[in-house]
Structure formats: C-alpha cells, structure tokens
Amino acid sequence: MAALSIACADYAELVTGLPPTSRDGDCFFDDLPPGRTTASMLKLGISDDRDRLIALLDVVMDYPDAGVWYVGLLLIHPEFRRQGLGRSLMNGLASHARARGAALLRLGVVEANAPALAFWSRLGFRAIGDAPDHHIGVRVHRVIEFEYALSDRAPMLHERPRFG
C-alpha cells in the first residue's frame, strides 16, 4: 500500500496539500463512516502481473441511504491510468451493486481535480450538488457530488471505442 500511496503523490498533494507518506495506506482498511462497520464496506485492491498493487477501490454499501453505494476512493497508479482500468472497475462495481439491489452509485470529487471530474462525467455520472469549504489535509475544497442510476434500464457505464 505504501508504494501505491507514494506513486500517487499527485493525487495526495492535490487533495490534501501534503506529500504522501509510507503510512498513508495504513488507514485504508480502518476508515469507516460514522455508524458503519466493516461489514458495510467493500475494499478492493488490484495487482498487476508482477504482484504490485496498482489500484484501490473503497465503497460504502447502503450509505448514506439504503440502495446507495458510495464510492469513497478510486486510486490508480499513474502507470495504469487512461488504459481503461478505472472504467472496468466501475463497470464491475455497477454490475455487482445492481445485482445486490443498489439503485445508485454516488461519490464526491474535489473541484480542483479536473481529470477526475472529466472521468466521472465520461462514465455517465451526473453532478447533483456541491459542498463548499470541505477541509482535507491543509486544503479547503468545494466538493462536487455525483451519482449514477443503476436502474434495470440504465446502460452500463459508457464504453470508449478502442482502436489498435
């Protein structure tokens, strides 16, 4: 986990204003929203063919309401970004959540993270609101809330044509 945290220094510095440390990953499995237990969490780590951790996905099931699965973190090693891994992970999550009765995926993105805002919009998530003055580390952000409907008729997350 430490190696992934260090490799994703761009994300840590953008969001928190602080460089990552080797201990940043320590809280991944322990962080819980108020009133939740580990049973309500879905924590996934993805490894490459050399057994290196290259992505993390953190989801709270039925949060803040029943039928809503809240994506707390999708973190991908810079070497593996823009190759379809995030899209594949979210397609898998959407299928898994839908099969277990979820109606919505929801998440928040700091406004300063333009690549993430574009990513979630491309996948079909829509902005539903914002929260100003959200303190993260030494920074203060406006957080944009996004959601994606998982109804039976809702298409899977948009696929980008692949060439070559």
pLDDT (tens, 9 = 90+) of the chain, 164 residues, equals 788 888 888 988 888 899 887 777 677 777 888 888 889 999 999 999 999 999 999 999 999 999 999 999 999 999 999 999 999 999 999 999 999 999 999 999 999 999 999 999 999 999 999 988 888 889 999 999 999 999 765 555 555 444 33
Those residues with Cβ within 8 angstroms of residue 102's Cβ, 6 or more apart along the chain or in another chain: 61, 62, 67, 68, 69, 150
Q: Terminus-to-terminus CA distance in the chain, angstroms?
A: 33
- Residue 131 CB burial class (10 angstroms; 0-12, 13-18, ≥19): exposed
Give the separation between CA 143 and CA 128, rounded to whole angstroms: 11
Q: What is the pLDDT of residue 11?
A: 85
Q: What is the pLDDT of residue 123?
A: 93
Q: What is the pLDDT of residue 1?
A: 79
Question: Across the chain, which distance is largest between two alpha carbons, in Å?
Answer: 48
Place of tokens 């991908």: 76
Q: What is the pLDDT of residue 161?
A: 40
Record the pTM: 0.88
Q: What is the pLDDT of residue 28?
A: 74
| Size (the chain), residues | 164
Place of tokens 């809280």: 27
Q: What is the pLDDT of residue 164?
A: 36
Q: What is the pLDDT of residue 131?
A: 86
